[in-house]
């Protein structure tokens, strides 16, 4: 069986995942920290390479670590962000932040209502000459 280099390995895996395999390119450099493979893909494919919560990228890095362990080398993967790319706010994150702000508003309203109720009870207690420290 032919020995596959770490760079070829990354290219093979990534090309199988992305929609634009012709735009996949890698570069390999070696320094005192080990091997660094820089991966560049089409901006439209960045989400597929990174995956939900970075799971796809993490999996590729794990496989590279295993491949590097076979040859006693430390192999790292750097995914190069394309020039001028902007990361849009994901719909899921914006929905969560909206829900969170609604919950915070509800909590604030509840606290305000509780304060008003306590003040009302204190006023009623003062009218009846009851000790106010019992109510708090």
Q: Is the dihedral of CA 38, 39, 42, 47 positive or negative?
A: negative
Answer yes or no: is 84 within a domain: no
| Predicted pLDDT of residue 122 | 74
| Predicted pLDDT of residue 11 | 92
- Domain finish residue from 59, 79, 99: 79
User: Residues in the chain, how many?
Assistant: 136
pLDDT (tens, 9 = 90+) of the chain, 136 residues, equals: 456 688 899 999 999 999 989 989 999 998 888 889 999 998 888 888 988 888 999 999 999 998 888 888 888 899 988 776 655 555 555 555 666 566 666 666 667 767 777 777 777 766 666 555 555 5
Quick one: 111 and 74 in the same domain?
no
Q: How many domains does the chain have?
A: 2
In 2-134, which residue ranges form alpha helices assigned H by DSSP? 6-17, 46-50, 55-70, 91-128
Quick one: 74 and 95 in the same domain?
no
Sheet of 75-79: strand order equals 25-31, 34-40, 75-79
Residue range of the domain that includes 123? 91-134
User: How many Å is the Cα radius of gyration of the chain?
Assistant: 29
**CATH number, position 56:** 3.30.300.20
Quick one: 74 and 117 in the same domain?
no
Quick one: 95 and 73 in the same domain?
no
Q: Cα dist. 121→9, 82, 107, 133 in Å?
A: 73, 63, 21, 11
Quick one: 127 and 71 in the same domain?
no
Token pair 């962000």 is at which residue?
A: 81
Quick one: 98 and 75 in the same domain?
no
Quick one: 106 and 69 in the same domain?
no
Quick one: 98 and 68 in the same domain?
no
């Amino acid at each position: 069986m032919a020995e596959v280099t770490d760079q070829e390995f990354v290219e093979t895996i990534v090309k199988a995942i992305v929609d634009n395999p012709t735009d996949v390119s890698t570069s390999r450099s070696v320094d005192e920290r080990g091997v660094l493979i820089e991966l560049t893909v089409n901006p439209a494919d960045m989400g597929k390479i990174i995956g939900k919560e970075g799971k796809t990228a993490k999996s590729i890095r794990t496989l590279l670590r295993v491949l590097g362990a076979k040859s006693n080398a430390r192999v790292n993967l750097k995914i190069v962000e394309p020039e001028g790319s902007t990361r849009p706010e994901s719909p899921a994150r914006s929905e969560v932040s909206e829900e969170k702000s609604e919950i915070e508003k509800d909590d604030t309203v509840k606290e305000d209502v509780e304060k008003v109720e306590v003040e009302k009870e204190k006023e009623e207690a003062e009218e009846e000459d009851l000790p106010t420290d019992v109510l708090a």
